Structure 1
Amino acid sequence: MKKSELQLNIISAEKKLFSGAVASVVIPGISGRFGVYPDHAPLISPLTEGDITYLENGTEKSLEVHGGIAEVNNGVVTICVI
């Protein structure tokens, strides 16, 4: 993984939905959508219904979620969704 990338892991109770290196991710937090980029400060945020959008190899991809929780720490974004 390059310094200009994040490790994104999206999981549900049933399975791993995505795991890979991304340039950025936009997350539907309960206080509004927020972007996460390399060198982002650590945080934990509950999620609301919406789309997680991420940039993988120059291609924007998205995943609809109905809630969950996100953690950002040391270049790793882990999102547990429902």
Structure 2
Amino acid sequence: MADKSFRVEVVSADERLYSGDATMLVAQTTDGEVGILAGHAPLLGQLTEGGYIAITEADGDRRVAAVTGGFLSVSTDVVTILAETAEWAADVDVVAAEAALESAEPGSVEHQLAKSRLSAAAALAR
């Protein structure tokens, strides 16, 4: 399986959230949802506001992160996610995120962050 994996780096303005090997990555971009496998053609994409990424690790574990803004870069053997914000879906307080979504003005940073958190939590539950 090692020959079917690639390196994934997830970096936000605050921290390096993830660095590891994966067999698949799904990201929500402004052009739609993109699935990346080993050997994917080089690509540069803009991440959606209020979206998420899903990483299937080389050992088969699945991790989902809420990401807002930023870019996806695919090179020969590395996929880099440069996000404005990123956090693991498993750490999302769904009740707080729902309350934030309801109280935030549509289109605001708070609204996009709450939307991203809820999308990631829902994707993790799948």
TM-score above 0.5, yes or no: yes
Tell me how far 1:13 sits from its aligned partner. Answer: 1.4
Tell me the residue number matched to 2:31.
Answer: 31
Q: Which has the higher strand share?
A: 1
State the TM-score, normalizing by the size of structure 1: 0.94
- Which runs of 5 or more structure 1 residues have no equivalent in the other structure? none
Counterpart Cα distance in 2 of 1:3 and 1:42: 18
Tell me how far 1:62 sits from its aligned partner. Answer: 0.1
Structure 1 residue 58 and structure 2 residue 60: aligned?
yes
Counterpart Cα distance in 2 of 1:34 and 1:43: 10
The one-letter code of the counterpart of 1:59 is D
Counterpart Cα distance in 1 of 2:26 and 2:5: 14
Tell me the residue number matched to 1:77.
Answer: 79
Tell me how far 1:2 sits from its aligned partner. Answer: 2.2
* Alpha-carbon displacement from aligned partner over 1:36-64 (angstroms, at most 9, x marks no partner): 00000001001002110010111111000
Counterpart Cα distance in 1 of 2:68 and 2:11: 13
Aligned residues: 82
Identity of aligned residues (%): 33
The one-letter code of the counterpart of 1:31 is D
**Runs of 4+ displaced beyond 4 Å:** none
CA RMSD between the two structures: 1.3
State the TM-score, normalizing by the size of structure 2: 0.62
Q: Relative to structure 2, which stretch is displaced further, 56-65 or 16-25?
A: 56-65
Q: Which has the higher helix share?
A: 2
Tell me the residue number matched to 2:16.
Answer: 16
Tell me the residue number matched to 2:101.
Answer: none
